[in-house]
Structure 1
């Protein structure tokens, strides 16, 4: 086994793995850039070349990368809503995120520059992702107009985030995304009428 610094193409994976391990072991506050770099076997400069802050690094390691693949096209808005809810549920469910989310959100809210960057990089791209889904529904004639992407974003994200991170009960037996799909679909249709 070759030891030492990971090859260039393996740095991102090594860093994300180090973040997840440190969050599980020590929590968000003690998951520092120094600790991540040491755990991943890379220099701090390699980390800072890829991520501007600890919050951005943690977000990309446990929620999703800055770049998003296009949303699945299931052929119907109802199916697309269910698929997106499934993606949101899988990205927000996990022990590392449960330990990190309160402090991560506090860090983002406390720094206006970081908050603006998150709005641009993560929320902006998430809404762009939803615009693709909504525009397909308009093209198929399922919506008469594209509803406000921010409202749709809140309707999709809010219930999943609330259930996974605030409620003590486990998700419904049929699955959270499946349970939410019909009412969220109906709400999106009402907004796009």
Structure 2
């Protein structure tokens, strides 16, 4: 969403709004959260929120997803180790919001074309860039003979993560072991030639 021309936004107000939204999401859940409650908790007027976010969903999106800093992990020396680091980052970012927030938010985001475009251009793009760099490293090392399509590899990572977190409701304590198993399983598939069928060329 473009920032309106005028006075620079106050970063302290931005931070207060985001912190209030996260606190209230934890206390009340996604469906019950209101802009009025966030404004009161943040100590700002509703107008301050609506100058920044056109809708409640955009406000929540900014608080729990939009500002995520998902950088590509340092080179760990192998495709499996690099994928494990990426998966752990994705799992952490999706598991951090209170239960119910991510499914509810994603349903509303994808019902709004503007929010969906913002989501794809920020959170999804950051993840896809990480996946691409990890795959390019593997090709440079000689681990992979061809570059797999990063969109397909990304989907193969995200599907099990979403199933684990939001469909199967497995124990959160098992997430680290799950992330490593997922990354090593996909690396094994790619090493075994499965990636040839997913190549970009």
Matches within 5 A, 1:106-185: 106-170=107-171, 172=174, 175-185=177-187
Write out per-residue CA displacement over residues 96-119 of structure 1, whole angstroms, 9 at most, x where no aligned residue: 1x2212321221121223222222
| RMSD, matched Cα | 2.8
Contact 2:87 2:183 in 1 (8 A): yes
TM-aligned CA distance change 1:69 to 1:154, over 3 Å: same
TM-aligned CA distance change 1:11 to 1:135, over 3 Å: farther
* Structure 2 stretches lacking a partner, 5+ long: 1-8
TM-aligned CA distance change 1:45 to 1:72, over 3 Å: farther
TM-score computed with the length of structure 1 as normaliser: 0.79
TM-aligned CA distance change 1:37 to 1:146, over 3 Å: farther
Contact 1:80 1:133 in 2 (8 A): yes
Structure 1 residue runs of 4+, over 6 Å off? none
Contact 2:35 2:56 in 1 (8 A): yes
Q: Which moved more, 1:32-41 or 1:42-51?
A: 42-51
Alignment: residue pair count: 186
TM-aligned CA distance change 1:57 to 1:141, over 3 Å: farther
* Structure 1 stretches lacking a partner, 5+ long: 1-6
Matches within 5 A, 1:46-57: 46-48=48-50, 51=53, 53-57=55-59
How far apart are 1:151 and its partner, in Å? Answer: 0.9
How far apart are 1:173 and its partner, in Å? Answer: 8.1
